[in-house]
Chain A
């Protein structure tokens, strides 16, 4: 059986376009592996698991989440980039993929050309949170505080070259206030440090800090997206604090390896649209503090390209070393 499948697969790859359409007819013929470049339990893993379930129902084949963590998600990306282009391997991409495009000196794949983006799935803003005793209540007073004590206010993030770190850098550059970066190993350590008063600020994606904010242990000063975040409706945006163009939103989207037949991409895009259209799926996504978001394949491709350019520029401007 296996041999037959292998042979037919090789043939299909050889006869390209015409066969591509035929493949799309039969697709999916086997379970689809959805690769996550991070460990189980993290944000990317959770959104993958939430969408994998309805996608399985819609496509009639199980969609199995596989974690391939390591090297900032690039090991998982590389695995997908080199997987057969038959639509049975898909990558849960996130903003880190765009960051790693310039962060690493050399990658075994091309961050844009090795992938066929299908659709965005969700977005999530970051939240600027502070120790509850900090003398600032919103973005405006924060900027004033930073400017009154140049170099004294420090912000924690989950590491150099993380989206969180970059959000802080962009904030610093746009506000013109001097804040220092202190990296931590993982979100829990960073939250503990801010709660204990070791550092003043924390730039972190929303999901892990919403509970801390609602419990009154961390103070939310601003959300980093252009619009307010429904889970924290009272927290103003950074843009409202005067930095009009400030918008850092982390995103999650699905991509096949490049060369996957167009009809399969279209079929998957439609399936994602149907899945996220279901009220119970939307509810689950929102309860986990994600914002459901769908897009066309070309729109996602363009988004990926612009994010790669944007973070590359931030890295260059701030002289962050390539790894």
Chain B
């Protein structure tokens, strides 16, 4: 059984840690670190990001030594469907100030529903409308969340 795209997930984790820790360290290395009695804003964060990067290196070295176990390996099969959710959430954030709660909730829920393949278009529309109506009544009129409920078209 050949699995060319299987890589130890520990190496990936180590790489990510090195990237994140190192990246943050580069961003903040110019913050003043101060002295022991008067620590600057940089000291603690610089140490923390350094530790992350260091742990990333240790992780990579450790997993290089181990043979890659195909069962524990990471399959690089990218599933796109889940990313509908953050996309729909972004749409929610973009539309809300312009279209108000009711319309935005319906649009975002409709998009989010594409996270599942087993819904018919009619189901998606009904879901979006029902949920939007529910949250509009509950949060918009009931709890008076500080948000426009309907689209507002003035400057």
Contact = CB atoms under 8 A, between A and B. Distances in A.
Partners in one complex: yes
Interface of A: 6, 10
Nearest to B154: A6
Interface of B: 154-155
Contacts of B154: 6, 10
A270 B5 CA distance: 77
Nearest to A6: B154
Contacts, number: 3
A275 B40 CA distance: 48
A172 B128 CA distance: 64
Nearest to A321: B32
B145 to A, nearest CB: 13
3 contacts: A6-B154, A10-B154, A10-B155
Nearest to B38: A180
Contacts of B155: 10
A6 B154 CA distance: 8
Contacts of A6: 154
B38 to A, nearest CB: 10
A6 B152 CA distance: 11
B153 to A, nearest CB: 9
A6 B155 CA distance: 9
A10 B155 CA distance: 9
B147 to A, nearest CB: 14
A278 to B, nearest CB: 30
Nearest to A9: B154
B149 to A, nearest CB: 11
A6 B153 CA distance: 10
A320 B39 CA distance: 16
A40 to B, nearest CB: 14
The 3 closest A-B pairs by CB, nearest first: A6-B154, A10-B154, A10-B155
A10 B154 CA distance: 10
Contacts of A10: 154-155
A6 B148 CA distance: 15
A212 to B, nearest CB: 29
B44 to A, nearest CB: 15
A154 to B, nearest CB: 12
A310 to B, nearest CB: 27
Nearest to B32: A321
